[in-house]
Chain A
Amino acid sequence: MNRRVILLLAFVIAVTGALLGLKGLAGHQVRQAVPVSSPVSPNDSPSASAPVSQPIFAPDFSLKSLSDGRQVQLSALRGKAVLINFWATYCGPCKEEMPFLVDLQKRYGPEGLQILGVTMDDGDEKAIIEFTRKMGVNYPILQGTEKMADSYGGINGLPTTFFVGRSGKVVKELLGSAEKPVFEDLVKQALQQSAGGAEHSREKQNP
């Protein structure tokens, strides 16, 4: 009987250890975004975006581009500033900011900006492609997955945008729509982050 109890106790300890270990691994996510109640404007307080005390590397992913069927891997873009925009066709605020993104890609692409649109639509690919064609989108549209969204803290609302610096660290995340100058300012900050480090960590962007 005693031996049985000891064995069971060992089993419970082993299960606990395994669960805690798994949880620790799963903890490597971008923290959950803070929802904002109104559109972010340049004059708004920075509480509208999510400050993070420690710069975090944007979790790597490989997603299929709906534009050409190729896989796009985030880590292959190291050295560029990357704007990851989670969106969906049913999302009005997402649609409204698309022209900003198109313009930013056009103007800052030559300086090293790469915008990635990650669609969270469940709908058919053709409809998504047609939608982005109508919107004149000039950056890759990737089919998002739940796993990938989870790695970014779980995408609770759309749009959600992550600004990733050249070093691969997240400069800022925005939940909800924002005005164009806010995007532009954050794109500039992401471009200024050197490939080797994070001179412009999120603390510096939040006075």
Chain B
Amino acid sequence: MKLLYSLVLLTAVMTGVFAAGQESPARQGRTFVTALPVNPVAVSPGRRTPVDFTFRVESGYHINSSQPLGEELIPTQLHFSLPGEMAVGKIQYPAGELMDFPFDPKTKLSVYSGDFVVHGLIVAPTAAALGTYTVHGELRYQACDNNACYPPKKLPFTFDVKISPAVKRIPKARPNAASPHIHN
């Protein structure tokens, strides 16, 4: 019986190796951008919580900004798949850096290189069930270097959102407000 299992396993491994060998270089997940980990976000029902997404473009490459200077250029965009009625709102992309490249020194392009941060707001509905949820995000981008461009890519990433009961805020003391207990 052990031999039987071994044979089946061997067949599966061989098929896997074959499948990996068949994958074309274009599909071999070459990445030009990585997503830095996002700390779990604590959200209260009915409240908005800011969240930052930091991405790192590999050295020597650039990607178009969210507003590239050319209609045929592919903008960088963030997409989210959220559980329940949660939403990521007010996504604010940074302004692109205006740069020219050796392949066309006369034309400026709006690009991101190095690290860039996209701001957003996590919104949980008032009736949201308490608990921790995993949010799936996807950065869509198209990278180039000084000499060539690469097909559009999708970079998936995840982060956790913890919905906890709202904590009553204690109003901060206003330093300039006159205290009834202080008399000059």
Contact = CB atoms under 8 A, between A and B. Distances in A.
Contacts of A131: 72
Interface stretch (B19-27, B49-57, B87-95, B128-136): B19-27
A92 B103 contact: yes
B15 A19 contact: yes
Interface class of chain B by DSSP = mixed
Interface residues of B, number: 37
Given A12-B7, A23-B18, A131-B72, A93 B25 contact: no
Contacts, number: 106
A62 interface: no
Contact of A5 (B4, B28, B146): B4
B149 A38 contact: no
A125 interface: no
Interface of B: 3-4, 7-8, 10-11, 14-15, 18, 21-22, 24-28, 30, 60, 72-74, 101-104, 107, 109, 142, 144-152
B11 A177 contact: no
Contacts of A159: 148
A4 B109 contact: no
27 contacts: A4-B4, A9-B7, A11-B7, A15-B14, A23-B18, A26-B22, A35-B148, A37-B147, A38-B147, A88-B149, A88-B151, A90-B149, A92-B103, A92-B109, A93-B103, A93-B144, A93-B148, A93-B149, A96-B104, A120-B151, A127-B72, A131-B72, A155-B26, A158-B149, A158-B150, A177-B103, A177-B148
Nearest to A156: B25
A175 B104 contact: no
Interface residues of A, number: 44
A39 B105 CA distance: 13
B150 A156 contact: yes
A78 B15 CA distance: 38
Nearest to B72: A89
A153 B23 CA distance: 11
Contacts of A157: 148-150
B25 A32 contact: yes
Contacts of A104: none
A24 B66 CA distance: 44
A15 B103 contact: no
B72 A36 contact: no
A4 B25 CA distance: 40
Contacts of B148: 35-36, 91, 93, 157-159, 175-177
B101 A92 contact: yes
